Structure 1
Amino acid sequence: MTIEVWLERRAEDMARLLGRLVAVDSENPPGRALGRCAEVLREEMDRLGLAPEIIPVADPAGGSADPCVVRGTAGDGDGLVYFHGHFDVVPAQDRAQFTPVRRDGRIIGRGTADMKGGIVSMLYGAAAAKALGLLGAGRIVLHLVCDEETGSVAGAGHLRAAGLIDPAALAMLTAEPSGGGIWNAARGAVSVRVDIQGREAHVGQAHRGVNAFQHMLHIARPVERYAAELAERHTGFPLNPADAPGSMLVVGGASGSGANFNVVPGAAYFTVDGRYNPEEDLEAELRRLTALIEGAAEEVGATVSVRTTQLQPSAGTGQDHPAAATLARVVGDVEGAPARFELCAGILETRWYAQLGIPAFGYGPGRLDVSHGPDEYVEEAAMRRCAAVYARYASAMLA
């Protein structure tokens, strides 16, 4: 029996599982229903013979519901390929998004593209490879984490810190919504929060106050100029035509100030969030960003503090790496068209594996342009094709 036939016979099971997963509102933040979603995954993995276990993890921020990692295995040989995914989703625009809709070959709902549909493909790809005896003297280890949307320190970070990622692994795949492309590289991330202190005063005696909002406006201007400069620094990695080639910086994605309209604002804050191309030195850019902020504050005598909230490296595996070439060949065979390599415009959990020297890639059935949106969906046929890619890739790497 071919992989495609095996998967086609289980098309309804795959659709049913995705519907169950979408119905669990595992929004992050705040980290809702994580344990409940993990239990749905455990049940299905147990049914598929993937030897699941649920590993509780710490929640650095607090407030998450039973944060955990679901780990499973197909095969028992020495060779190792990782399948990695996340079951948390971004907050919904409407609660109706947690009621999955199946229509015209698509399943619509929060997390279908990013990336519960990809998880379904990975589970069934691993199960197909095991059932059809394709794993040779190797095994697939599945890691499903709960906090990718909020930085992944608790989930993937725990796997790394606990020594649960074997540096000798042959490859890693994550089912992010790559839209048919292979993400062999991803940007790094630098995020900071800038807090400005002033002094409150009644509007009738505004001259007695120190306006933190006005100071914030002055401090943000050089950061905006820095953002424009970054946008002109173009990557050498191939990109999706819809993505900009420069590093991206958002100034003021979150901001605020003051206690009331008739009081001089005694405090203000704004955030800076950047996605840096792999060619950039993140530590050097963080130092420069901090110096710009502190220098502007000094110009107006402002009291400012800069807190780094995220510093995550970029990741990349060359197109000429044997693991990349094998994946391109498998994707081409399944899709019937040459595979294309692309830089992911954001950050990927491939970084946790790439830092250990493991070739790591993003490839999944969803589309980035619908992920996180109100009409998020995944094509059922794409889920099955990706499952076939996963099974074939594991077989090829473990042969």
Structure 2
Amino acid sequence: MARKWLRRGLVGVALVLAALVLRVTFLRPDPVPVTVVAVARGAVEETVTGSRAGTVRSRRRATLSPEVGGRVERLFVRKGDRVKKGDALVRIAADDVRAQVTLAEKSLVVAEAAEREACRAAEQAVRDLSRSERLAKDDVLSLGLLERAQTEAGMTAAACEAARARVGQARASLEVARVGLGKTVLLAPFDGVVAELSTEEGEWVTPSPPGLPIPAVVELFDPDDTYVSAPLDEVDVGRVKAGVPVRVTFDAYAGRTFAGKVSRIADYVLDQREQNRTFEVEVALEDAAFGKTLLPGTSADVVVVLARKEDVLRVPSYALLPGGRALLLSKGTLVSAKVETGLRGAEWAEVVSGLSEGDTVVTSLDRSEVKEGARARAEEAR
């Protein structure tokens, strides 16, 4: 009887143990799939990116309008044309001004003729006076005739000087008329390219008076002197210095990256509505020849490199948890490790201590089941 109960007891214990084994085997949660990356050596950068796309700009850009208003008589250029300094761009109809120039030219001719005549008479009067003085010395000429010769010489000399003054006045009037005529022709102030042309032949244009903005007739820029202007968030204003390296990419040149340096930092912060406050930096490209091929207005993305270290132990920045910790996958279990970091950028962080080369660090941290102590298995990143 005792043996019978003993057998039954052993069977019961066996059933309980079997149930426990089945519970552990079938009810134990599956390992959590995680993406991982091995700690390795490489470069780490601390960077600042633009708050929005930058723009290629020309250092020399001018908005031009004629100094006088009137009807556009002739356009010498079209949008996109290259011009040289001094080339005519637009001419305003100026028949009245040309008539003034013609009148001034003729007035000058008349004044010069009168000057020649008056001065010849003055020269003759001087010669006559000299002769009269010799004759008077020999008592051949009376004192009255000598005084008359002296008076004549003085009067003709004054007439000559007055005629010369009228010539100077006529020349000044001609110069004024020519300046007025010159104002009817808009000239290029430097070598460049016509960016905009906002008028046509036959239209009337008005010069821009001070304080009253009127659209310019011609916009001109120098394509050989360009730079990249980029807005950066104001929080970085104390970190960015002139001379630091920059990487620049252009949508127009996809797949290529161009090196440059910060050449200038604005002395003020822009406060624009509905946008973050930003400050502008100017970037000079190292490849100056390529820079000359860029069209002003082209968009550019800028990455300012504040610091860079080569061949250091690194881990992806997004693999670090708050408090400077990381999860390691060790023998199928997630283990927490305290990580001391050095230089840290948006993509990579330098590992000073806490991790070793080859350690497997978890990067898929956005799931609640990914936590210290959980069973896990590595899967390929998608």
How does the TM-score come out when normalised to structure 2?
0.21
Q: Which has the larger radius of gyration?
A: 2
Select the structure with the greater relative contact order (CA < 8 A; seq sep ≥ 6).
2
Bigger share in strand: 2
